[in-house]
């Protein structure tokens, strides 16, 4: 889809003047009704994807907005979040074939957001949890995993609780959390607030492994009980090792 410079500048100026909210996006869509005119010309063309790219907006998020509006206009009751998520995961559920194709093109071409990316992240996260499990077994360390802990009634748990604490670089470790990501300031502070300090309050000091690295200055809570590493530690000291050494 080709825009004149004046059309582009009008949209860009409008984007700058509104806050990044869902309500603002609805207003933008009403002001620039290009999706419908585009699909009328060629329903197979990636109109919605091109529109998202031109507006520098995540394709899957653009698809969600259009899908929500479509369902609002064609259903008696507002669509629930679970229904929308289900349709985004499986666009064949969308009752309009043209829109289903448009949503599908957005989902498979979005490298940052959407159900496909969520599946990839989940798979990578699970892969590293399995890796961590294998390393714990290799070191003959006894542990309880998330499933076992939830069966015992715990609602918020780290990936692994060590049944016998160990020492890493002079710090006692009761639990280990696997993060298959890079630890930047934003994500780490969110994890501290939502997860790590809760684990510390309930289970004591622990270790977080950021498998893809982290900002060095973030490893500042060691003395308070949260240690950061970029790989599985090689200098683990166990209780049996300590006894035999003494």
CA distance 211 to 204: 22
Could you tell me if 95 and 138 lie in one domain?
Answer: no
Q: In 3D, which of 29, 27, 31 has the Cα closest to residue 62? A: 29
Position 106 in a domain? yes
Measured in whole angstroms, how far is the alpha carbon of residue 80 from the centre of its chain? 21
Of 52, 84, 113, the domain-final residue: 113
Give per-residue pLDDT as tens, 133-185.
999 999 999 999 988 988 888 888 999 999 999 999 999 999 999 999 999 98
Same domain, 108 and 121: no
**Is 200 contained in some domain?**
yes
Instruction: Specify the number of domains making up the chain.
Output: 2
Q: What is the largest CA-CA distance in the chain?
A: 81
Q: Say yes or no to pLDDT of 245 above 60.
A: no
Shared domain for 103 and 197, answered yes or no, is no
Please check whether residues 23 and 127 belong to one and the same domain: no
Kindly state whether residue 244 falls inside one of the protein's structural domains.
no
Q: Calculate the CA dihedral of residues 83, 88, 93, 94 and round it to 10 degrees.
A: 90
Give the domain range for residue 180.
Answer: 117-235
pLDDT confidence band for 2 (50 / 70 / 90): very low
Residue 174, phi then psi, degrees to nearest 5? -105, -25
pLDDT of the residue at 118:
92
Residue 203 sits in the same domain as residue 170: yes
Asked if the structure places residue 241 within a domain, the reply is: no
Q: Are 103 and 63 in contact (CB under 8 A)?
A: yes
C-alpha 143: how far from chain center:
26
The position carrying tokens 């507006």 is 55
Q: How far apart are the first and last CA of the chain?
A: 75
Rounded Cα distance, 178 and 134, in Å: 13
Strand 206-210 and strand 171-179: pairing?
parallel
Residue 124 shares a structural domain with residue 224: yes
**Of 19 and 114, the one with more pLDDT:** 114
In a domain, 240, yes or no: no
How distant, in Å, are the alpha carbons of 34, 54, 62, 120 from that of 50? 11, 6, 10, 24
Q: What's the average model confidence in pLDDT over 50-64?
A: 87
Q: What is the mean pLDDT of the chain?
A: 85
**Structure tokens given for 78:** 């507002």
Looking at the fold, whether 172 and 123 belong to one and the same domain comes out as yes
Q: Is the pLDDT of residue 243 over 50?
A: no
Q: Tell me which of 113, 135, 159 is where a domain ends.
A: 113
Same domain, 67 and 133: no
Annotate 174-206 with b (16+ C-beta within 10 A) or e (fewer).
Answer: bbbbbbbbebeeeebeebbeebbeebbeebebb
Domain match, 100 and 177 both? no
State whether 105 and 130 are in the same domain: no
CA angle 1/112/215 to nearest 5° reads 140
Identify whether residues 58 and 156 lie together within a single domain.
Answer: no
| Residue-wise pLDDT tens digits, 22-47 | 555 566 556 555 665 666 565 577 88
- Among 113, 145, 176, which residue terminates a domain? 113
Give me the phi and psi of 197, to 5 degrees please: -70, -30
Residues 108 and 6 in one domain: yes
């Amino acid at each position: 889809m080709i825009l004149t410079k004046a059309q582009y500048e009008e949209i860009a100026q409008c984007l700058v003047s509104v806050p990044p909210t869902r309500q603002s996006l609805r207003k933008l869509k009403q002001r620039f009704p290009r999706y419908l005119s585009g699909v009328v010309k060629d329903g197979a063309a990636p109109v919605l994807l091109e529109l998202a790219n031109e507006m520098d907006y995540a394709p899957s998020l653009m698809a969600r907005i259009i899908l929500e509006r479509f369902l609002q206009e064609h259903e008696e009751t507002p669509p629930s979040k679970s229904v929308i998520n289900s349709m985004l995961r499986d666009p064949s559920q969308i009752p309009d074939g043209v829109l289903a194709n448009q949503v599908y093109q957005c989902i498979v071409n979005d490298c940052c957001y959407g159900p496909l990316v969520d599946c990839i992240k989940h798979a990578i996260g699970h892969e590293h949890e399995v890796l961590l499990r294998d390393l714990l077994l290799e070191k003959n360390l006894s542990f309880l995993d998330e499933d076992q802990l939830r069966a015992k009634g715990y609602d918020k748990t780290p990936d692994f609780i060590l049944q016998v604490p160990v020492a890493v670089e002079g710090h006692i470790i009761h639990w280990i959390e696997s993060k298959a990501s890079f630890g930047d300031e934003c994500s780490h502070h969110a994890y501290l607030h939502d997860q790590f300090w809760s684990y510390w309050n309930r289970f004591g000091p622990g270790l977080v492994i950021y498998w893809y690295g982290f900002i060095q200055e973030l490893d500042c809570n060691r003395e308070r009980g949260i240690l950061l590493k970029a790989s599985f530690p090689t200098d683990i000291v166990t209780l049996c090792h300590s006894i035999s050494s003494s």
